[in-house]
Structure 1
Amino acid sequence: MLGAATDAFAAHGRNVSLEEIARLAGVAPATLYRRFPSKEALIGELVSVFYGELVGLAEEALRLPPGEGLDRLLRTVGHRIATARGYLPFAWGELAGPEQVGHLRALTGRLLDDAKAAGAVDPRVTVSDVATVVWAVRGVIETAGDLAPDAWQRHLDFVSAGLRRAPEHLSAPPLAMEAVDRITGS
Structure 2
Amino acid sequence: MTHDLSHSPRSDARDNRKRILAVARTAFAEQGLDVAMREIARRAEVGPATVYRHFPTKEALLTEVFTEQMGACAAIVKEGLAHPDPWLGFCLVIEKFCAMHAGDRGFAAAFVSTFPVPADFAAARDRTLGHIAELARRAKATGGLRPDFVLEDLVMVLMANGGIRTTSPTTAVAAARRFAALLIQGMRAEPAAVAPLPPAVRLPLPVVI
TM-score (norm 1): 0.69
1:20-169 aligned within 5 A: 20-23=42-45, 32-66=51-85, 67-86=87-106, 88-93=108-113, 94-95=116-117, 97=119, 98-139=122-163, 141=164, 144-146=165-167, 149=172, 150-165=174-189
What amino acid is aligned across from residue 183 of structure 2 in structure 1?
A: V
Task: Tell me whether 14-23 or 79-88 shows the greater mean CA deviation.
Answer: 14-23
CA contact (8 A) 2:144 2:189 kept: no
Question: Structure 1 CA distance, aligned partners of 2:107 and 2:151?
Answer: 25
Q: Which runs of 5+ in 1 are unaligned?
A: 168-186
Question: Structure 1 CA distance, aligned partners of 2:155 and 2:27?
Answer: 28
Question: Structure 1 CA distance, aligned partners of 2:175 and 2:148?
Answer: 27
Larger Rg: 2
CA RMSD of aligned residues (A): 2.9
Q: Could you say what secondary structure the match of 1:15 adopts? A: coil
Question: Structure 1 CA distance, aligned partners of 2:148 and 2:84?
Answer: 21
Deviation at 1:48, TM superposition (A): 4.7
Deviation at 1:130, TM superposition (A): 2.4
CA contact (8 A) 2:70 2:125 kept: yes
TM-score (norm 2): 0.63
CA contact (8 A) 2:28 2:105 kept: yes
| Pair 8,57 (structure 1): closer, same or farther in 2 beyond 3 Å | same
Question: Structure 1 CA distance, aligned partners of 2:75 and 2:88?
Answer: 16
Q: Could you say what secondary structure the match of 2:105 adopts? A: coil
What amino acid is aligned across from residue 19 of structure 1 in structure 2?
A: A
Deviation at 1:58, TM superposition (A): 1.0
| Pair 120,90 (structure 1): closer, same or farther in 2 beyond 3 Å | same
Deviation at 1:136, TM superposition (A): 1.9
Q: Could you say what secondary structure the match of 2:167 adopts? A: coil
Q: Which runs of 5+ in 2 are unaligned?
A: 1-17, 192-209
Question: Structure 2 CA distance, aligned partners of 1:41 and 1:8?
Answer: 16
2:40 maps to: 18
**What is the number of equivalent residue pairs in this alignment?**
161
